[in-house]
Amino acid sequence: MTTIGDFRQARLGWATLLLAGLLLGGCSTQGLEREPSREPPAKTASQSPDRSWGPVMEAVAMAKLYPDGKSVVDLVPKRDPAAIVADFEQLRQREGTIGKARLQAFVDANFDPRPENETRLGEDADTSIEAHIVNLWPYLTRDPAATDEGPWSSLVSLPEPYVVPGGRFNEMFYWDSYFTMLGLARSDRFDLVRDMVGNFAWLIDTYGFVPNGTRTYFLTRSQPPFFAPMVALLAEHDGDDVYRRYLPELMREHHYWMRGADEIGPGEAREHVVELADGTLLNRYHGSENWPRPEAYAAERELAARSDRPAPELYGHLRAAAESGWDFSSRWMADGQHQTTIETRDILPVDLNALLYQLERTLARAWRVQGDAAQAARFEAMAERRQSAINRVFWQQDGGYYTDYDWREGRLTDAISAAMVYPLAFGVADPARADATAATVRRELLRAGGMVTTTRETGEQWDAPNGWAPLQWLAVAGLDRYGHDDLAETIARRWIETNRAVYRQTGKLVEKYDVVDPAVGGGGEYDVVDGFGWTNGVLLDLIHRYPAAAHR
């Protein structure tokens, strides 16, 4: 049984190991020399459009010159943003109110539009879906030397090539990339897997964490921490030395998520860490800042105007939801319906804590490879404490599933969502809980086209009727891990057929799908995106796992 004393001891362990993470690169990492690589100059959050050309960004966003707010912050200044802002202020003083046409002319004179992704390939009409995915990789791959947008762009330059999701997403995203890598591995493109893991390591070394994506406006928040699974995927191919190579970055990733753990008491939170009344330490999404996301500036200003809450509080919860990757979902909303009630920072998500369990297990393995049994044992103990806490705190006994926990109110949220599969995917669950969760997935989430994200239809993209590639893959992996082979194959087969049906109709693979009435998905802040990195990766992996099901 885990006691309060165990968690107090864990606090000391975290403090010691976090310090080791900060110091890593000295005596603690003997033999961990990094191979030389190209080191692009690092951009900073101060170069985000809301800071470097804020008055212009605000005016353009609020005037809605572009239907997608991301188009605004992906504009590329043609000259020093400070000079552009100075000219803009003079124009405003001279003309007073600036009309849309005049504002558009100013933008056209001072900014280049963001480069667009390819949307169509020149392929034969009968090109198989597997061949289509392989053909897409070059179109979605970016060579930093060839795609540098200059010093004033919001794009963060990376040392090595990488794959983008597609459509409006013309940069490398954090959790998307793991699922893209699954397909690259199936395509025997371990060169790109290697390059992308190296890029994520560079981001951790440069910024102390992996940002949401490689844009300056993402440099204040992360995304679901999939760096450890990326390292494990590469190690399966290249060998255990991969763990030793990326041990410094794995430590820094852990430090980022656990920072502040030794500074809080029961019922308190600091950044991503929360301590419950009994001393249990768990994690939440935080998002760092309390003003509108630049890429959704106008929408969030308008939402705040409709809300009776303090605007900074609302913005903080919205940013935390963006950090979760589930932006947006009824999971985060107090009334289960409206963004004005969002409370992401008050929620401990089961999926995040399962990922951090996996990170701690990966660190234990990395330290064993490094030859430090004491450090390996300490991380194993951390992982075991977290496993015990997940199975105790997040388990909905009456319903038989894992859900989220409202730490301020001290209760489960009862949200029925696909996040329940994470403890199965990463081996957190015991057999009884895995069996009950499988029954709940079949009863509550299984649909004609795969697994639905939640049971609620709210118009948000991370709710019904949408299904998403990463969640299908995690469900299949988790159910298969616990012996629920039939349900795993059913989800895989239905998801594959949904992808195939849309491909037959449109020639595209898209970001999300309606799995209730199988079709292209909808909802959310922007039009559905094709490309699409993680859909391609998951589909190719599932086709290889279930070749018979794939061709029914």
Q: Which residues are catalytic?
A: 327, 511
Instruction: Take residue 377 and report the two structure tokens written for it.
Output: 């044992």
Q: Is 335 exposed, middle or buried (0-12, 13-18, 19+ CB in 10 A)?
A: exposed
φ/ψ (deg, to 5) at 296: -135, 35
Q: Which of 456, 458, 450, 465 is closest to 535 using CA atoms?
A: 450
Contact 516, 449 (CB under 8 A): yes
Residue type, 396: Q
Residue type, 93: Q
CA angle 543, 469, 66 (to 5 degrees): 130
Calpha distance 213→36 (Å, rounded): 24
Write the DSSP symbol of residue 330. Answer: G
Q: In sequence order, which residues have a C-beta less than 8 Å from that of residue 340 and are 6 or more positions away?
A: 303, 306, 307, 309, 314
Q: Give the CA dihedral 331, 334, 340, 343, nearest 10 degrees.
A: -70
- H runs (alpha helix) in 460-524: 469-481, 485-506
Q: In sequence order, which residues have a C-beta less than 8 Å from that of residue 87 and are 6 or more positions away?
A: 110
Characterise 400 by phi-psi region: left (phi > 0), alpha (psi -120 to 50), beta (else): left
Calpha distance 163→184 (Å, rounded): 10
Calpha distance 88→91 (Å, rounded): 5
Question: Per the omega criterion (within 30 degrees of 0), is the bond before 226 cis?
Answer: no
Instruction: Take residue 51 and report the two structure tokens written for it.
Output: 């800071």
